[in-house]
Amino acid sequence: MIQHYPFELLPLPYLYDALEPNIDMETMYFHHTKHLRTYIEKLNQALAPYPEFHNWTLERLLLHLDELPEEIREEVRRNAGGVFNHQFYFDGMSPVPRKPEGQLKEAMLLDFGTYEAFQKTFFEMAMSVFGSGYLWLVCDNRGKLAIVPTVNQNTPISRDLYPLMNLDLWEHAYYLKHKNLRADYVWDWFPLVNWEEVGRRYQQALLTIALQNSV
Ligand code: MN
């Protein structure tokens, strides 16, 4: 679905209690209706006086921050990032357990060796992210997978990197249930990854890359 100004709070693709017991209903409810809603409202406020950007998508805003007026650039970076990151995180989870398949699975085996090796590296990097941020699975413009952290509400969106999956490492994502135990949250989150959606994102990235290489 193509979104642009005024951005709206889209419903989750599952119920608030669907990820229990790994992520509790209260956390999902507040995360979606309070945290994400605030980013949406602030993004709309920042863009309201600038109709020339009202048909820009989140991705376009984030990829071309340098084209925005300086007085709203930081506000858009934070809040378009907050909207993108949260929608990406919520859509990247599912109550139905899945495993990587197809080209994504092949790339994971090639770039990490085994799924378990990928998981171990992802876990260790998640533990080493300091303060608030995200950990991402991305691919570069040759389709090679990599794990990269970002701080605050920054995104890895750029001309060379395609985001495939992200893990919200802000404390609000887990504090109600897991308190300060980030490790427990990360292990509870792994089985929720919607690998079907991540695989779709990878297919889309490969298609975009192929099209760019053909022109
Ligand atoms: Mn969050």
Instruction: Give the integer Cα–Cα distance in Å for 30 and 40.
Output: 14
Q: Which residues contact 148 (CB under 8 A, 6 or more apart)?
A: 135, 136, 138, 156, 161
- Ligand 1 center from residue 71 Cα (angstroms): 25
Averaged pLDDT of the chain? 96
Q: What is the pLDDT of residue 158?
A: 83
Tokens of 193: 């990854």
Tell me the per-residue pLDDT of 149-199, one tens digit each, with 9 for 90 and over.
999 999 999 888 999 999 999 999 999 999 999 999 999 999 999 999 999
Radius of gyration over alpha carbons of the chain, in Å? 17
Query: CA of 113: how far to CAs of 9, 107, 170, 186, 214, in Å?
Result: 39, 9, 29, 21, 30
Q: What is the pLDDT of residue 213?
A: 86
Stated as kind and residue range, the H or E segment containing 167 is: strand 161-168
- Ligand 1 center from residue 211 Cα (angstroms): 33
- Ligand 1 center from residue 99 Cα (angstroms): 24
Instruction: Tell me if residue 210 falls in helix, strand or coil.
Output: helix
Do 92 and 135 form a contact (C-beta atoms < 8 A)?
A: no
- Ligand 1 center from residue 170 Cα (angstroms): 6
Q: What is the pLDDT of residue 100?
A: 96
Taking a 5 Å cut-off on Cβ, the residues next to ion ligand 1 are 168, 170, 173
- Ligand 1 center from residue 214 Cα (angstroms): 38
If the chain, 215 residues long, is cut into consecutive pieces of 10 residues, what is the mean pLDDT of each piece? 93 98 98 98 98 97 96 97 98 95 97 97 96 97 96 92 97 95 97 98 96 86
- Ligand 1 center from residue 149 Cα (angstroms): 15
Q: How many C-beta atoms lie closer than 10 Å to residue 58's C-beta?
A: 23
